Structure 1
Amino acid sequence: MSLIDHLDHLVLTCVDVEATRRFYIDVLQMKLETFGDGRMAFRFGNQKINLHVRGAEFEPKAHLPVPGALDLCFIASVPLDRVIERLAQMNVPIIEGPVERTGATQKLRSVYVRDPDYNLIEISELI
């Protein structure tokens, strides 16, 4: 048995809060959550992404918090073809895919995009 059960949240460091908010809320349709002293997070399922702004991070923080250093894979709640349609509607270019990949529990069909800070975002469906 592993010591760890699941991921609760991760922290994303951004440069432009509004561009990041638009991407995660408008494009990926995550829910905005505010907490604490004006902190912001993007909620999806039972997880969330807390947002830090470069140069104004909350303590404690990663040793070297930098925008654009993440490579994230999200499992879509809808068929990947609907994700592809949504990305096209929102003028978000797909940089690779659809392609077959290996996920944590099974094979995936994925597309790759970049968020406003150039983090690599993989959006997948289980196959």
Structure 2
Amino acid sequence: MAFQATMWRACLLSRQLINPAARLHGVNPAASSWMVKRPYAISVDRLDHFVLTVKSIDVTVDFYTRVLGMRVDTFKGGRKALHFGQQKVNLHEHGNEFDPKAHAPMPGSADVCLITSHSAEEVLEHLKTCDVAVEEGPVQRTGALGPILSVYFRDPDNNLIEVSSYTEQSTT
């Protein structure tokens, strides 16, 4: 039992040291009621990339670069990825996916929340300029680090995209 308690403290400490965003937003993992407290052999630090299966790579690249300011990258045999922050979205065209792949990849099955430093009003104004219909928002939600204000819309494949910003309560 002493080993498990020591392992838990080591895991908790590593999360606090590795996750500067938690410190930035004033989140104390030890005090978070939603955190399951048990020892782990490993821990995950952050998301590196995820894959969107899309109908058209070109249409998707246009949307995400124009509407969300992502950068496009071509790599490994002509594959496309969209970069933002320290993450990326790999794009697979439906019917031409790369292995290994999801069990049943389908366009329009994703629901993603992206964090921005822009206000909800700025997001709404930009979406209007880009002729993107807002599905909902701004509305209060709960993000990984606390309260967020979210705006929802759909990409060309009907994936649900949530663009959010942390509220003042999250940073105090």
Query: TM-score, with normalisation over the residues of structure 2?
Result: 0.72
1:57, distance to aligned residue in structure 2 (A):
0.5
Q: Structure 1: state its 5+ residue gaps.
A: none
1:80, distance to aligned residue in structure 2 (A):
2.2
Q: Take 1:122 and 1:108, find their aligned partners in 2: how far apart are those partners?
A: 11
Q: Does 2:129 match 1:89?
A: yes
- Matched to 1:20, the amino acid is T
- Matched to 1:49, the amino acid is V
Aligned partner of 1:11 in structure 2 is 51
Q: Take 1:121 and 1:93, find their aligned partners in 2: how far apart are those partners?
A: 11
Residues 20-54 of structure 1, C-alpha deviations (whole Å, 9 max, x = no match) = 11111111110111110001000000000000000
Aligned partner of 1:101 in structure 2 is 141
Q: Residue 158 of structure 2: which of 112, 118, 124 is its match?
A: 118
Structure showing the higher helix proportion among its residues: 2
Q: Does 2:103 match 1:40?
A: no
Structure showing the higher strand proportion among its residues: 1
Residues 58-93 of structure 1, C-alpha deviations (whole Å, 9 max, x = no match) = 111111111111100000132222111110000000
**Identity over aligned pairs, percent:** 50
Q: Structure 2: state its 5+ residue gaps.
A: 1-10, 12-41, 168-172
Task: Specify which structure has the bigger relative contact order, considering alpha-carbon pairs within 8 angstroms and separated by 6 or more residues.
Answer: 1
Q: Larger Cα Rg: Structure 1 or Structure 2?
A: 2
